[in-house]
Amino acid sequence: DAMVIQNPRYQVTQFGKPVTLSCSQTLNHNVMYWYQQKSSQAPKLLFHYYDKDFNNEADTPDNFQSRRPNTSFCFLDIRSPGLGDAAMYLCATSRLGQGVLRTEAFFGQGTRLTVV
Amino acid sequence: GEDVEQSLFLSVREGDSSVINCTYTDSSSTYLYWYKQEPGAGLQLLTYIFSNMDMKQDQRLTVLLNKKDKHLSLRIADTQTGDSAIYFCAGNAGNNRKLIWGLGTSLAVNP
């Protein structure tokens, strides 16, 4: 089945130790998003890739970076995780472009990050 | 700026109907979506409605859109315990690339 897969489901990292979260998709969608979701809150968009074009949200801290080596994969790098970065990180994809009318996002199951 | 508001909690009895409400400010949203999130999981698209429609029915789900009042609702008929989750309303921002999210409504279904 075509889907969005995030690995790992649970990640524990040490305070200040770089960590990378992974996302892959078989939907062949041209847009990939990273969201941060804290408990009882709505997902907060960190950034997205439109094809190879990186789009950062104005309030995303510099501590968060992303890479998209190809259409299928996207990575979220947290350079120096702090306690406040503990959250669920959600990857999503969309298909945008000429002739595409709906832009709903398809989500992975998320990676729960714990910082110790 | 764009804003989407939802009531935070709803409790219903199993078998009753649930109605979850949402208001939005961005009248340029062409599609409005309902997502469901179960504990510890990602978000699952439940249904959507195009902005020139006023109602859409999909099995137990009915979406009503009042564009004049910028009000969207999701009705779940015959609510089951498996419907317990957080429901998010979202609309696409003007450039279509991003979704603007409500805070989510936590639905509790009591046996």
Mean pLDDT of chain A: 92
Q: In angstroms, rounded to a whole number, what is the distance separating the alpha carbons of residues B2 and B29?
A: 10
List of chain B residues with pLDDT < 70: 1-2, 94-96
In this prediction, residue A60 carries a pLDDT of 96
pLDDT tens per residue, range A21-55: 999 999 999 999 999 999 888 999 999 999 999 99
In this prediction, residue B3 carries a pLDDT of 83
Nearest CA in chain B to A103: B96
- B-facing residues of A in 16-55 (CB < 8 A) are 31, 40-43, 45, 48, 50, 55
Instruction: Please state the rounded mean pLDDT for residues A68-81.
Output: 97
Distance (Å) from the alpha carbon of A90 to chain B's nearest alpha carbon: 7
Q: How confident is the model at residue A4 (pLDDT cuts 50, 70, 90)?
A: very high
- B-facing residues of A in 54-83 (CB < 8 A) are 55
In this prediction, residue B94 carries a pLDDT of 63
Q: In angstroms, rounded to a whole number, what is the distance separating the alpha carbons of residues B99 and A103?
A: 9
> Which positions in chain B touch A110 (Cβ < 8 Å)?
40-42
In this prediction, residue A101 carries a pLDDT of 63
> Which positions in chain B touch A2 (Cβ < 8 Å)?
none
Q: Which residues contact A70 (CB under 8 A, 6 or more apart)?
A: none
In this prediction, residue B99 carries a pLDDT of 86
